[in-house]
Structure 1
Amino acid sequence: MTTTPSRSPEILRYTAFSADPAGGNPAGVVLDATGLSDAEQLAIAADLGYSETAFLTAPPAELSGQERAYTVRYFSPEAEVPFCGHATIATAIAHAERRGPGDLLFATWAGTVPVTVTEASDGTLRATLTSVEPAVHEVAEKDVTEALAALGWSAADLDPAFPPRIGYAGARHLILAVTTRARLADLDYDFERLKDFMLSLDLTTVQLVWRESETVFHVRDPFPVGGVVEDPATGAAAAAFGAYARELGLVPEESALELRQGADMGRPGELRVELRAGDPRVRVGGTGARIPEAGAR
């Protein structure tokens, strides 16, 4: 049954990780979700049909004295998720266009996420989030086998230099790296089988990776648990991947990585992943743009 919101909040549409509204990952943004119920927020997200929509309300008591602090919740068309990177970037850009660049503090289910928005000399806004403390976990061989079966891939497709792991930086992502760009481009998976597998491991996406160079990676993120075939640009997975690459010694402890995502969907975007020596948290940044109403879909 469709739920009609009890009031009419302003619903914005922004893309993240691209300055072009036709690129990056679209997100819904509600800068004032005061009074909206869970069902109403889910209904708005489902109506928009984007992989996530972010809803801002007043901050929790422990952050109430801090300027530009908010509670943020994220809904996919089918469920609430603990954290969403691209919707965080989109929300920060939308906020900055109305109230100016600067620092924000978002209280999420996963933890407190600082975000900084800067403005370039040409007026371009760039937002950078700092993840919650990440973690990298082993994954059972049988689970890798099931993931590959759902994807229609084989073990021979995997890059032995990148062992499968589950990365976490606010949400859990299975990381699988392949040996060729062609294999990454050829994605036609069993939606229901992969969804069931992901639900069994509490995964938000599967982060599929191909390494182009020392610092440049191409990635794709199936997202069937959110009712979406694929996410065009995934900030939370980018943060998890940064932690994974550092922990396994695949990149230096202090690194700036470029993740390219969305080109195979016709929505190219770029995510900058910054790793700092001595700081376990991962920074993920990018540009954003408002999507004109006529091109909202």
Structure 2
Amino acid sequence: MSTEPLHYTAFADAPQGGNPAGVVPDASRLGAEDMQALASKLGYPESAFVVSLTHPTEPGGVARVGMRYFTPAAEIPFCGHATVATAVELFDAHGFAEMLFETPAGEVAISASRDAGTEAVVSFTSVEPAVRELDPLALERLLEILALREDDLAPGVPALESFAGNWHPVLVLRERELFHQFRFDPRALAPLMTQRGWTGTVTVLSPLGEALYEARNLFPVGRLTEDPATGSAAASTGAYLRHVGRAPADGRVKILQGAHVGRPSRLLVDIPAEGGIRVSGGARRFTPAASRG
């Protein structure tokens, strides 16, 4: 196992799509300051660090993987796209088809397989989700930062906070044009997110059908403003849709993301009647065109 970071992009829906992540397959000898420094140097939205690895005791058993996640600025409890990237690396390197990631947010079950084109596909089941009311003053400030009004929100789907590893406020807009055109000041949004404990993204949705949504996930960290693909937000969106009674009959939703930042992505979300939300996608390793940092 190597301490050298690997470069992955997860949930890509086009050759230049997906969300990049750093993956360190063996961070057992790195301290938190080392991991933070490396994540900052890589500059990706998040980087994942394998801090412990216990191989299964029998063929087909479950590998236990200790995980930590860092943005360029801080440690976070969980990151979906970096989880998928790490799982693909461990599946390719060791053949682990079943894994249990021990994250600061809780235990996350992972399954890995290959599709007909032999690409690795990973599904993770989130920790137990939760949905709660969004404080009216926080919603008022959030809408102000996004230059939106309360009547821009879609009727029947209230703005709420949803958790499936990280807390995300979730807004559903009524108009497609507004979804594409709204702008925000990341310098104003970042302190509000810190104040409210929104360790994930601000999730803004536009319905394209009963089982298809487009998402913009606002993520004002360093030079970043929007996340191209957000596994934790996809899981939180599934929990939100279940809570407000908008999950489709078969429980399966597709989320398109990343078009606004030139990195098209697609996430598949399965919403059971209860328990954790399942998010699926792939990840591919790449070689950076130039050194970061």
TM-score by length of 1: 0.91
Q: Retained in 2: the 8 A contact 1:255–1:275?
A: yes
Shift in Å, 1:10: 1.4
Among 32, 38, 43, the alignment partner of 1:38 is 32
The residue identity in structure 1 corresponding to 2:70 is F
Shift in Å, 1:42: 0.5
Match in the other structure for 1:228: 224
Q: Deviations over 1:111-136 (max 9, x none)?
A: 00011111012211111000000000
Match in the other structure for 1:69: 64
Among 195, 214, 220, the alignment partner of 1:218 is 214
Which sits farther off after the overlay, 283-292 or 72-81?
283-292
Match in the other structure for 1:54: 48
Shift in Å, 1:59: 5.1
Secondary structure of the residue aligned to 1:228 is coil
Among 75, 88, 103, the alignment partner of 1:80 is 75
TM-score by length of 2: 0.92
Among 117, 120, 131, the alignment partner of 1:122 is 117
Among 77, 81, 84, the alignment partner of 1:89 is 84
Shift in Å, 1:137: 0.3
Secondary structure of the residue aligned to 2:242 is helix
Q: Retained in 2: the 8 A contact 1:164–1:174?
A: yes
CA distance in 2, matches of 1:114, 1:215: 24
Match in the other structure for 1:131: 126
Q: Deviations over 1:61-102 (max 9, x none)?
A: xx9977421100000000000011111011111222222251
CA distance in 2, matches of 1:99, 1:93: 10
- Over the matched positions of the two proteins, sequence identity in percent amounts to 38
Secondary structure of the residue aligned to 1:233 is coil
Q: Retained in 1: the 8 A contact 2:253–2:268?
A: yes
CA distance in 2, matches of 1:226, 1:74: 16
Shift in Å, 1:197: 1.0
Shift in Å, 1:228: 2.6
Among 233, 245, 254, the alignment partner of 1:249 is 245
The residue identity in structure 1 corresponding to 2:228 is P
Q: Retained in 1: the 8 A contact 2:108–2:124?
A: yes
Change in 2 beyond 3 A, CA 1:226/1:166: farther
Instruction: Give RMSD over aligned pairs.
Output: 2.0
Match in the other structure for 2:102: 107
Match in the other structure for 1:178: 173
Match in the other structure for 1:154: 149
